[in-house]
Amino acid sequence: MDIRNIAIIAHVDHGKTTLVDKILHSTNIFRENQESGELIMDSNDLERERGITIFSKNISVNYKGVKINVIDTPGHSDFGGEVERVLKMADGVLLLVDAFEGPMPQTRFVLQKALQLGLRPIVVINKVDKPNCRPDEVHDAVFELFFNLDATEEQLDFSTIYGSSKQGWMNTSLTPTDNIFPLLDTILEKVPPPSAEEGTLQMQITSLDYSSFLGRIAVGKVARGVIKENQPLSLMKLDGTAQKSRVKELYVFEGLGKKKVSEVKAGDICAVVGIEGFNIGETLADFENPEALPLINVDEPTMNMQFSINNSPFYGRDGKFVTSRHLKDRLEKELEKNLALRVSETGSADSFMVYGRGILHLSILVETMRREGYELTVGQPQVITKEIDGQKCEPYENLVVDVPTEHSGRVIDLVTQRKGEMLIMENKGEMQHLEFEIPSRGLIGLRSNMLTNTAGEAVMAHRFLEYKPWKGYIPGRSNGVLISKNQEKTTGYSIDKLQDRGRFFVDPGEEVYVGQIIAEHIKPGDLVVNATEPKKLTNHRASGADDASRIAPKTLMTLEECMEYIQQDECIEVTPKFIRMRKVILNEDERKKTQKMQQVEA
C-alpha cells in the first residue's frame, strides 16, 4: 500500500486544525450518524479553551488507496521544540498561509526547519473568502520567503492551492469548489513516498504517547528495515550505549485512533509498546548490529523561571501535591516529552530553575500542573544571558505588529521605549504593518500594554532571532502595588475607601494574607494597606450612607498576565483554585531590611 507522510505547518490561527477537520470529514473517517464536532485534533482542555494547538498529533486517512499520515503541529514559536522533532517523520510539508496576513514570523521559523530537512512543500493559501484578502500578493511574499531561506530549486517550484478550510473547499485556482479533493490529489502527486534504504532496522523515537493500560509508547517513522511484534531489538541511548529490549505490541495510526498490526515496513509511522526507559531522539535498531540515527537538534531555551513549593500562609488548602518531591518528580516527567524544556537544581532543595522558549511555553506547563492538583510558587521570568567573545549578550526577537493606522504612533512609542528598533513600516489596506527588532526582555509585559493603548486592535507576533550585545536598562512596570497588612477577609467598606488609591485584584469577602498583592497602586512605589477593616456599628442611623458605596469589580488576570506583571521581588502563588500575586518576603520589616542591604551592596 502506498504511503505519504505530511506535516501541516502554519502561523497561529491560520487554520491548520480546521483543515485537518475537513480532511477527516472528506475521507469518510466518521460514520454517517456520528457526531464529530469541530477542532477534532485539539483534544486537550487547554487547547480547546485557548483555540491553539500545543501538542503535535498524528492521524491517518485513506484516499484513492493511498494512506496519508497527517501530522498537525503547533503554530506558536514557544512550542517550536514540538515541531522540530515531529518534522523528522514527514516527507512533505503543507504550508498554510492566511490570504490576508501573508507569511508571519512563526511561519518563517517553522518553514526554515522544514526546508533544512529537505521536505517538499505545498503552499495552501487559506481564507480566500475573507474580505480584502490578497492571494496574489501573498503568493509572491511566500516565494520571496522561500528564496530568503535558501530553498533548493526543487523546493522553489512549489504547488499552490487556494481555498477556505472553514467553507470546506480547495482548488488549484481561485474558483470555489464543493470539496477539498484537489488538495489531496496534489499531496499524492507532489509529496514523494517515503524512501527506504536497504539494511537492518532503524527507527528514531520522535514522539511519545502514554496509556494508563500499556504505559509509555514510543512513536516514530521506520526509516529502514521492518519492525515486527515480539522482535528483540537494541535501543540506542543518547549517551551512545545500547540497551537490549523487545517489542511487545505494534500499532499503526488509522483515522483518529490506532490499529494493532504484526509488522510495520519502512516508511510508515508506528507506535511501539514494551520498550523500557526510552527518551525522545533515541533509535530502535537491529539486535545484532545496531546503528543509531543522528540526534534531533532542538533550539536552546531563551527564558527561565524559578519554581518553588508554595510557602504562603494558605499552603496546602486546595492542592493535592504540595511537597518539593512532588514538584521534582513532575518536572522530571515533563522533561521526557517536552524537548525544549530544561530543569536545573538551585541551592535550595525547595526550588528549581526551569528554562523554556518563552512565557507561553512556561505558563502552559504551570497551568497544566495547576489543573493536575499541584500547588507551587513561580518567580518573575528572566531572559537567559550568554557571554560571547567576552561581551554580555541577550536574546533578541523579531516583533511584527499589525495595527489600525490611527494607533500606529502609540505602538512605535511603546516598542522604542523598550529598546526596540523599527525595521519595516508598510500599509496593508487600513492596517499598518510594523516590524521591529527588540530584546526578549522588552517583550515581557508588552502585550497587555499594547492592547490597552490600541483599544484591543493590535495583533502582535514574535520569534527568536539571535543573541546580541546587552541593551542596558529597560523600564518595567511604572506603578507600585497595594499590599495587604493583615490576614482576614476583605470588606466592602475598606475597599470602597481605598478605591481611589488603585485598581483591585480582589473582591469584598475574599480571604487575603500579609504580603499579598491586592491592587495596583496609581503611583510608583508600594503601599501597605488594611483592606479588612469592618464598618464600626453605632447607635446612630446613617441616612442612605450605606447605599452610596459603589465598588468596581476586581480586575481578573490570567496566569500569563500575572507572569508579565510581577517584578523581581514578587512571585505568583498558583493553586488548583487560585492564582495570587504576592511579595517574595511577606513581612514588611524584613522587606525593608533586605532593600537596605541591597542598596548598600549596590
Binding-site members for GTP are: 13-18, 126-129
- Cβ neighbours around 299 below 10 Å, total: 15
**50, 28, 54: which is closest to 41 by C-alpha?**
54
Strand 269-273 and strand 283-285: pairing? unpaired
Could you tell me which residues come within 8 angstroms of residue 509 by beta carbon, excluding any fewer than 6 positions away? 489, 490, 491, 492
Supply the DSSP symbol for 321.
B
**196, 186, 223: which is closest to 6 by C-alpha?**
186
User: Could you give the count of Cα atoms lying within 13 Å of 523 in the half-sphere of its Cβ?
Assistant: 5
Q: How far is CA 507 from CA 88, 562, 573, in A?
A: 51, 17, 18
**E strand segments, 346-390:** 351-356, 376-378, 382-383, 386-388
Residues flagged as binding site: 13-18, 126-129
Residue 580 has which C-alpha cell? 495570587
Strand 263-265 and strand 226-228: pairing? antiparallel
Which bin fits 339, alpha (ψ -120 to 50), beta or left (φ > 0)?
alpha
**DSSP-assigned beta bridge partners for residue 161:** 124
Return d(Cα 383, Cα 358) in angstroms, integer. Answer: 9
The residue to which cell 454517517 is assigned: 32
Is 84:339 a contact under the CB 8 Å cutoff? yes
Q: What distance lies between CA 260 and its chain's CA centroid?
A: 32
User: Could you give the count of Cα atoms lying within 13 Å of 160 in the half-sphere of its Cβ?
Assistant: 19
